[in-house]
Amino acid sequence: MTPHRTSRHQALVVRPEPFDAEVSRALVAELMADLDVRYGADDVSDAHTAEMMALWAVRPEQVRPPLGVFLVAWLDGEPAGCGAIRPLLGSPPGVGEVKRMYTAPAARRRGVSRAILARLEREAALLGYRRLQLETGLRQPEAIALYDASGWYRIPTFGQYEGEELSVCFAKDLLRPT
């Protein structure tokens, strides 16, 4: 794979990694810490809430072929971000969900998230997905701007996000790979 050069002449490589690899776990932990700062930690003491969180949790088998993929972006050899595709739970075949999109603070505004999203879209099409959906939040304006600029369109909240005031959901219809 030829590395992509960013505007600052840094090598950017986006490649699949196991979801349960150390680098993947570390990036997902950073993502969760970032979300806790933006939204406050969720109280999962309610049994129903805990059950729903367990149902919607990302599991390693969901984000590896043939169902999905987990990608890590490397900027000059350092882990810089991640993202995943998995089947959208409760949807018909052919609909996938983007999960665990994250860019480390030191790597932001360097094209990392755009590269991850573009690669996720390509991988999803190769896995046979015709449509992708995702959820982000109002306290993540940079994510909303990314999806708006990348051809995604807003849809009603879905699944566990239905009715959530701070949730913003997007979808994108994919072209079949040639």
- Cα–Cα distances in Å, from 73 out to 2, 128, 153, 175? 13, 23, 24, 23
pTM here is 0.87
CB-based contact 99:125 (threshold 8 Å):
no
Tell me: the pLDDT tens digits for 23-56? 999 999 999 889 888 888 555 445 544 555 565 6
Domains and CATH numbers, the chain: 4-173 (3.40.630.30)
| Total Cβ atoms within 10 A of residue 43 | 8
Position 1, amino acid: M
Per-residue model confidence (pLDDT) at position 48? 45
Per-residue model confidence (pLDDT) at position 159? 86
- Region 76-89 average pLDDT: 96
**Whole-number Å distance between alpha carbons of 9 and 156:** 39
Indicate if the pLDDT at residue 79 is higher than 70: yes
- Cα–Cα distances in Å, from 158 out to 35, 75, 88, 163? 19, 33, 10, 8
Per-residue model confidence (pLDDT) at position 55? 59
Token reading at 121 = 């879209």
- Phi/psi at 132 (5° precision): -120, 150
Tell me: the pLDDT tens digits for 128-162? 999 999 999 999 999 999 999 999 999 999 988 88
